Amino acid sequence: MSAPKVVKGDAPPNSIERAYGAQSTYNDADNSISYTTMAKFPPVKLLPNAERKRILVTGGAGFVGSHLVDRLMLLGHEVTVLDNFFTGSRTTVSHWVGHPNFEMVRHDVINPFLIEVDQIYHLACPASPPHYQYNAVKTIKTSFMGTLNMLGLAKRVKARFLITSTSEVYGDPEVHPQTEEYWGHVNPIGIRACYDEGKRVAETLTYGYQRQDGVDVRVARIFNTFGPRMNPYDGRVVSNFIIQALKGEDMTVYGDGSQTRSFQYVHDLVDGLILLMNGPETRPTNIGSSHEFTIKEFAEHVKEIVAKVQKEEGTYKKTAEIIYKDLPQDDPQRRRADTTRAEESLGWKSRWTVA
Ligand SMILES: NC(=O)c1ccc[n+]([C@@H]2O[C@H](COP(=O)([O-])OP(=O)(O)OC[C@H]3O[C@@H](n4cnc5c(N)ncnc54)[C@H](O)[C@@H]3O)[C@@H](O)[C@H]2O)c1
């Protein structure tokens, strides 16, 4: 019988799960999996009642949401996660199940939901192209009806509302780097439109509720983000390259690789979301990295880092090759966040580099 091994998607090093003994262990011999939940929870800040907020995080079981939930829990707030687990997983936040400050609800945001809260972080929406294109009609329903329901809730309970919008509202931009003043260049009927136009209409709704009903709103326009707990197989460029490089497989670059992206680490994004929620800035605010790579440079970078680490660990077999495939429709050519607004009005600055 072979020794049990830790499965893919297990807690990354230095994560809360690992530090407190939660893990999933796969046993090859009988194809079974055992979960160990935490023996005890990480200490959370003890806040006075007046400072402890009741916070709803929609999409809180997803990649970004789970990191946000960790931070809000550690800061001592009461957190309710609302998620339909379409792309998220219970395991991303399972280390908080049982904690008195934590609740998880399976619910689809296209249906109304009532709860008394002080703040709503509205993240629920699939974010990777294969996931949001899988059911385009559902994606746009999630963006429109989900945001409508959450804004209605915010209005009713007088909660502050933050939506995670996206740099995709700028489409294939003619302005570079992208400032919040730029209105964008989006194909409204292309394959990306369910997501891009979904987020644009979600922003329109958000400011409609602000103007008409006085809802206290915040809009974060997030640029490409990476970090632990990303679904390694969800078709985003960072995870694609890393997985391909680790396996020594061909690394797929779409187009000639001259298109650019800027990548931020998820902890920087979480800093920005919390600062935005708790600060006075109500205009849309870019949160992203201003360090721009061409996709080809980024692939080379990943390839070199993976080969270096594998050589150090003695697991090196072969260096991956970069191959080129046709560019998908409406793929943006240039992407770099102008983060002047976040720096000036939130005092935010990214602290992590890609390397
Ligand atoms: N990760 C990025 O690079 C990035 C960039 C720009 C914007 N964003 C935005 O940030 C948010 C989170 O993105 P992510 O990367 O964590 O994606 P993700 O797919 O990992 O997480 C989305 C979460 O929302 C849930 N969800 C989807 N549809 C739902 C519905 N109808 N009802 C309830 N829950 C639903 C999913 O199950 C998942 O847990 C999204 O709004 C996304 O548009 C992310």
pLDDT tens-place string over residues 178-214:
999 999 999 999 999 999 999 999 999 999 999 999 9
Helix (H) or strand (E) holding 312: helix 295-313
For residue 259 the two structure tokens come to 């298109």
**pLDDT at res. 14:** 65
Distance CA 89, CA 86 (A): 8
pTM, rounded to two decimals:
0.91
pLDDT of residue 121: 99
Residue 348 Cα to chain centre, angstroms: 18
Q: How far apart are the CA of 125 and the centre of ligand 1, in A?
A: 4
Q: Are 203 and 163 in contact (CB under 8 A)?
A: yes
pLDDT at position 340 is 97
Is the CB–ligand 1 distance for residue 127 below 6 Å? yes
DSSP 353: -
Name the residue with tokens 């006085």. 214
* Domain annotation for the chain: domains and CATH numbers: 1-40 (no CATH), 48-225+265-289+332-346 (3.40.50.720)
Which atom in ligand 1 lies closest to the alpha carbon of residue 61? Answer: 39
- Identify the residue with better confidence: 38 or 332: 332
pLDDT tens readout for residues 36-80: 776 688 899 999 999 999 999 999 999 999 999 999 999 999 999
The residue with tokens 């609302």 is 82
- Ligand 1 site-directed mutation target among 82, 86, 354, most atoms within 8 Å of CB: 86
Nearest CA to ligand 1 atom 7: 166
Q: What is residue 1's predicted lDDT score, i.e. its pLDDT?
A: 44
Q: How far apart are CA 223 and CA 166, in angstroms?
A: 6
Residue 34 in this model has a pLDDT that exceeds 60: yes
Q: Kindly indicate the confidence band of residue 151, based on its pLDDT and cuts at 50, 70 and 90.
A: very high
Tell me how crowded residue 189 is: count the other CB atoms within 10 A of its CB: 8
Looking at 158-236, list the stretches that DSSP marks H as alpha helix, in order from N- to C-terminal side. 193-213
pLDDT averaged over every residue in the chain: 92
Q: What pLDDT score was predicted for residue 8?
A: 46
Q: Ligand 1 pocket check: which of 63, 134, 230 to mutate, most ligand atoms within 8 Å of Cβ?
A: 63
- The Å distance, Cα 214 to ligand 1 centre, comes to 26
Does the pLDDT value for residue 315 go beyond 80? yes
149 lines ligand 1 (CB under 6 A): no
